[in-house]
Structure 1
């Protein structure tokens, strides 16, 4: 069994404020990761390099992204989320997730 934690309470609230359909998709994907681990593949999850991953929840409102990393002891740390408005993931969103991942891993 894997445990999901959040970078901060603000990050947990940010995820909770995703539009209802995207949030429902996120909750299904999160439950799958808690039960079976982080081996989700496209189209549900994608490796972003250096230990950063993105969940790819979808809903009638559009596409969300939830960045996460893993830690020892079957722990998933949710770092950042946003609703995607462009084809490419904005670099600013990736920067936030990478910075938080370094902090969580003790490298920042």
Structure 2
């Protein structure tokens, strides 16, 4: 949890394009926070609220169990992102 909070602070200060090991751009205006925790390697997929603000919206969080981010997790995040745009 502390690692996640630290990374969010870095995003607030420098923007989402921190790069590995902290963030990764996934495409379609989605970014991934990469944090280690007691339960394993945590991931949170987020987007910006709009192009004018620096506010981010966490769309999906999960414990990663595979090398690549599962497509199912990205699909869920994309669906939630589209719901926000309505």
TM range (shorter): 0.7 to 0.9
Gaps of 5+ in 2: none
> How many aligned positions are there?
84
Q: Distance in 1 between matches of 2:85 and 2:23?
A: 21
Pair 1:50-2:19 in alignment: no
Gaps of 5+ in 1: 1-22
TM-score (structure 1 length as normaliser): 0.70
Larger RCO (alpha carbons 8 Å, 6+ apart): 1
Pair 1:40-2:18 in alignment: yes
Counterpart mapping for 1:16-95 below 5 A:
23-70=1-48, 71=50, 72-95=52-75
Partner secondary structure for residue 26 of structure 1? helix
Q: Distance in 2 between matches of 1:98 and 1:79?
A: 8
TM-score (structure 2 length as normaliser): 0.85
